[in-house]
Chains A and B, each alone.
Chain A
Amino acid sequence: MSAGANQPEFSPNTFTMDGIEIPFKDGQTLMDAALAAGVYIPHLCHHPGLTPHGSCKLCMVDIGSGRASSCTTPAVAGQQVSNNTPALNEARRTLTQMLFIEGNHLCPSCEKTGNCTLQAMAYHLGMLEGHFPQFFQRREVDASHSTVMLDRDRCILCELCVRASREVDGKNVFAVAGRGITARLIVNSPSGKLADSDLEIDDLAAHICPVGAILIKAHAYEIPIGWRTFDLRQIDEIGPEKVIQARVGHTDD
Chain B
Amino acid sequence: MTKIRIATTSLAGCFGCHTSFLDMDERLVELLEHVEFDRSPLNDIKHCGPCDIGLVEGGLCNADNVHVLREVRANCRVLVAVGACAINGGIPAMRNHFGLGACLEESYLNGIGVEDPQIPDDAELPLLLDKVHPIHEVVRVDYYLPGCPPSPEGFLSVLGDLLEGREPVLPKKLLHYD
Contacts and interface: CB of A to CB of B under 8 A. Distances in A.
B123 interface: no
B88 A134 contact: yes
A99 to B, nearest CB: 13
B152 interface: no
Given A113-B177, A126-B175, A129-B81, A108 B91 contact: yes
Interface string B128-166: 000101101100010111101000000000000000000
Contact of B88 (A123, A126, A129, A234): A129
A106 B137 contact: no
A136 B136 contact: no
B177 A107 contact: yes
B88 A108 contact: no
A129 B94 contact: no
Interface residues of A, number: 25
B178 interface: yes
Given A108-B148, A119-B177, A128-B144, A136 B131 contact: yes
B87 A122 contact: no
B88 A122 contact: no
Contacts of A101: 88
Nearest to A131: B136
Contact of B177 (A104, A108, A234): A108
B20 to A, nearest CB: 13
B154 to A, nearest CB: 11
A106 B91 CA distance: 7
B89 A129 contact: no
A114 interface: yes
B96 A136 contact: yes
Nearest to A122: B177
B93 A129 contact: no
Interface in A99-136: 100-101, 104-109, 113-114, 119, 122-123, 126, 128-131, 133-134, 136
A138 interface: yes
B27 to A, nearest CB: 21
A122 B147 CA distance: 13
A122 B177 CA distance: 10
10 contacts: A105-B88, A106-B89, A108-B148, A109-B91, A123-B172, A129-B144, A134-B137, A136-B96, A136-B97, A234-B172
Interface of A: 100-101, 104-109, 113-114, 119, 122-123, 126, 128-131, 133-134, 136, 138, 225, 231, 234
Given A106-B88, A126-B175, A225-B178, 20 more contacts: A106-B94, A107-B148, A107-B177, A108-B91, A108-B178, A114-B178, A126-B172, A128-B87, A128-B144, A128-B170, A128-B175, A129-B87, A129-B141, A134-B93, A134-B133, A136-B89, A136-B96, A136-B97, A136-B131, A138-B97
